[in-house]
Structure 1
Amino acid sequence: MKNKKQNFRNLFNTPLNMINLLSFFFFFACGITCGITFTSYFNTFSVNLQVINDQILNPQPLSPPSLPPSPRSIIPRLGLNEHIKSINVEHDMSDEELLWRSSMVPKVKDLPFKIQPKVAFMFLTKGPVLLSPLWELFFKGHEGFYSIYVHSHPSYNNSKVDEKVDWGKVNMVEAEKRLLANALLDISNQRFVLLSEACIPLFNFSTIYTHLMNSNENFVETYDQPGPLGQGRYRPQMSPMIKLSQWRKGSQWFEMDRDLALEVVSDKTYFSIFQNYCKGSCYADEHYLPTFVNMKFKNRNSGRTLTWVDWSKGRAHPARFNRQDITKEFLKKLRSESSCEYNGKKTSICHLFARKFTPHALSRLLMFAPKVMQLNH
């Protein structure tokens, strides 16, 4: 017994044994600490992994760190109406920007929404539409079926005029393209009519609207005219893009569908040729559209104009009609040509509009036109 107690005391008193005991307790404590640490880590890792998987499967919108995530129910939706909304004509786009914007067209032809097709009436004028009271009667009661665009001479609308540039040549075509581009911004516009301030309608709105909407052709006048006023205006520098055999003449007043209007505002190739070479006695407004349309879209064009004019006096410009010229019989005559032939096809309506009528003719037009043309229908 005495020997056992002595051995027990020796166990604690021996320096080597004390070191072994302390080492045992140290490793034991380290083991417990590591076990607790690793257990906590794996629990946290499992929770974080679950959160990450939930975010991948159910992503949430990003929000600023200082704000809580916004509920999906209040995220604004950009609907179809925002994409098809018409741009205000009083925009600040340059001509280049306007032509680019208006030339954009969807590839899918069938619209996923309903629209009321409209006719865009575009007036190219020197100043105001002087026969506007007659046109007001024409449009009355048909709101929503038409759009009106007016492009006047820069000197009238207070725009800066470059005296070195002849407004009557290439700039007239630029004005036509500008009118078309603005009208194309409204997707509801499906037919486009270019008229002057000297034009009048020959039928009521319903008749003209129905005729245009049911037409499968465009009405850009094109013909080949020998002599100095036709082929004589051709410039050899236009070859080989435009050959003399392709050169055409016609009235600048036209009617076309949306597809052709898009082609016109998108064209830079042929228009640039006219800008560079159609100068002097060459009048682009009489040749650009007839030549361009005849070359590229002949099968979609009737080759005729919708505007009646009187060339019987053999002058460089059509006859002008004043107050004394306007009678019931005269207006009925303009409407009575019931059989015309264009491109080998007969039509019951030869012209929908007529020109040139002076402002002095307005009073008698207002007297006779409503009944003769049935403008109240």
Structure 2
Amino acid sequence: MKTAKVWRLGMSEMQKLSGSRHRPPLKRPLWIIVLVLFVCLFLICAYIYPTSSGSACYVFTSKGCKVFADWLPPPEREYTDAEIASRAVIHDILNAPHVLPKNPKIAFMFLTPGSLPFEKLWDRFFQGHEGKFSVYVHASKTKPVHVSRYFINRDIRSDEVVWGKISMVDAERRLLANALQDSDNEQFVLLSESCVPLYTFDYIYNYLMNTNISYVDCFKDPGPHGNGRYSERMLPEVEMKNFRKGAQWFSVKRQHAVIIMADNLYYSKFRTFCQPGVEGRNCIADEHYLPTFFRIIDPKGIANWSITHVDWSERKWHPKSYGAGDVTYELLKNITSIDVSVHVTSDERREVQRWPCLWNGIQKPCYLFARKFTPETLDNLLHLFANYSSP
């Protein structure tokens, strides 16, 4: 009887204990931890010091290398001698103290096949502002006939320009080289024969002179008309991650103009490997060279949009042209009211990229000029200029 009682008490006590007792956490064997650490170390070493054969990637899974390559930060590559030399020159130019001249000027650089159909409009735009601008004309096909005193004797030596080829970039550099000879030129604006001003001279002058950035169009396009034009033969200096696209019509400050002229390394890559039809790609040098160049050497020094408006809404090889019937006060005011830069990628997603046009941190209109106006629009533009050009 005594034994039974003790047994019953024991069971009762055990029931009470069982409800409150917690199992201690299991202690994993030390060898498992060591094994995990060893595997991680092995994968990191395999990524940093890859073998010439791809067989190591299949030790665990066929996707192992790619997964870990995406997870780990990219290793720093060693710069070539040419890159080191190029970066040293660019660094010195960007960091050299720059003193504005007493009479800083804007260099208006016209890239045209022949005569300029809007010289009368530009003549009105320039009147009364002598000493604040200079004009340079690169006519690639025929010698221009000038009707404005501001354009006479302003033609530079020109060569043939073929759309889509490096000769377009060569013409831009030729204009910059001539404009840089005037030490008073501080801003360098590239314009075409179909460009017109959207504001008064004073507004454009203050807009450009009172900021320390260049207006170079630059965006990432993963589609066939963007990164699809990239060639790995541009490696190691030009990597896919830095390949960019943008309109060729720029405005650059003097330091950037000097850097463009000093560059041979990146320019030579585009001259050789960015051409229509090379390796089955239609690479257009003037749409990629400067955006990519500045993405590499001074990404924070550019605005990432062009101050020259053009309408790509028709999604053709060339932008929309404006005829006489299109040019109205409403059209011009609509263009000057745009204060957001918009880019659309060329892939199937048609991703729309938007960012505000910030001038010294303040959102302002993006465009100072517009292009693709046909010659018959001149009379309408002259008639409307005093009204639409006021800020």
Q: TM-score, normalised by structure 2?
A: 0.64
**Residue equivalent to 2:283:** 282
**Residue equivalent to 1:28:** none
TM-superposed CA distance for 1:373, in Å, is 1.2
Q: Which of 137, 145, 150 in structure 1 is aligned with 2:137?
A: 150
CA contact 2:322–2:372 (8 Å) conserved in 1: yes
Unaligned 5+ residue runs, structure 2?
1-92, 145-155, 277-281, 342-355
Q: CA separation of 1:367/1:242 partners in 2, compared to 1, >3 Å: closer, same or farther?
A: same
Amino acid at match of 1:236: E
**Residue equivalent to 1:354:** 370
* Cα distance between partner residues in 1 of 2:121 and 2:158: 31
Deviation sequence 1:259-292 (CA, Å, 0-9, x none)? 0110001100000111111122111110000000
Q: CA separation of 1:362/1:258 partners in 2, compared to 1, >3 Å: closer, same or farther?
A: same
Is 1:251 the counterpart of 2:247? The answer is yes
Amino acid at match of 1:244: M
**Residue equivalent to 1:366:** 382
From the two aligned structures, give the one with the greater strand fraction: 2
Structure 2 residue matching 1:357: 3-state secondary structure: coil
Is 1:206 the counterpart of 2:199? The answer is no
TM-superposed CA distance for 1:370, in Å, is 2.2
CA contact 1:303–1:342 (8 Å) conserved in 2: no
Q: Which of 94, 98, 107 in structure 2 is aligned with 1:109?
A: 98
Structure 1 residue matching 2:216: 3-state secondary structure: coil
Q: Which of 192, 195, 198 in structure 2 is aligned with 1:196?
A: 192
* Cα distance between partner residues in 2 of 1:172 and 1:351: 23
* Cα distance between partner residues in 2 of 1:161 and 1:176: 11
CA contact 1:192–1:257 (8 Å) conserved in 2: yes
**Residue equivalent to 2:294:** 293
Deviation sequence 1:323-345 (CA, Å, 0-9, x none)? 00011222222222356614795
* Cα distance between partner residues in 1 of 2:109 and 2:316: 27
Structure 2 residue matching 1:259: 3-state secondary structure: helix
TM-superposed CA distance for 1:372, in Å, is 2.2
TM-superposed CA distance for 1:226, in Å, is 1.6
CA contact 2:140–2:158 (8 Å) conserved in 1: no
After superposition, residues 1-377 of structure 1 pair within 5 angstroms as 109-110=98-99, 115-156=102-143, 166=162, 168-280=164-276, 281-337=282-338, 341-342=356-357, 345-374=361-390
CA contact 1:339–1:346 (8 Å) conserved in 2: no
* Cα distance between partner residues in 2 of 1:348 and 1:107: 30
* Cα distance between partner residues in 2 of 1:195 and 1:278: 23
TM-superposed CA distance for 1:169, in Å, is 1.0
CA contact 1:199–1:356 (8 Å) conserved in 2: yes
Q: CA separation of 1:182/1:363 partners in 2, compared to 1, >3 Å: closer, same or farther?
A: same
* Cα distance between partner residues in 2 of 1:352 and 1:153: 25
Q: CA separation of 1:160/1:251 partners in 2, compared to 1, >3 Å: closer, same or farther?
A: closer
Structure 2 residue matching 1:324: 3-state secondary structure: helix
Deviation sequence 1:348-375 (CA, Å, 0-9, x none)? 2221111110101111111111222149
Q: TM-score, normalised by structure 1?
A: 0.66
CA contact 1:331–1:369 (8 Å) conserved in 2: no
Unaligned 5+ residue runs, structure 1?
1-103
CA RMSD of aligned residues (A): 2.7
Percent identity between the two aligned chains: 42
State the aligned residue count. 269
Q: CA separation of 1:258/1:159 partners in 2, compared to 1, >3 Å: closer, same or farther?
A: closer
Structure 2 residue matching 1:219: 3-state secondary structure: strand
Amino acid at match of 2:98: K
Deviation sequence 1:45-91 (CA, Å, 0-9, x none)? xxxxxxxxxxxxxxxxxxxxxxxxxxxxxxxxxxxxxxxxxxxxxxx
CA contact 1:310–1:318 (8 Å) conserved in 2: yes
Deviation sequence 1:175-201 (CA, Å, 0-9, x none)? 101101110000000011101111111
Amino acid at match of 1:151: H
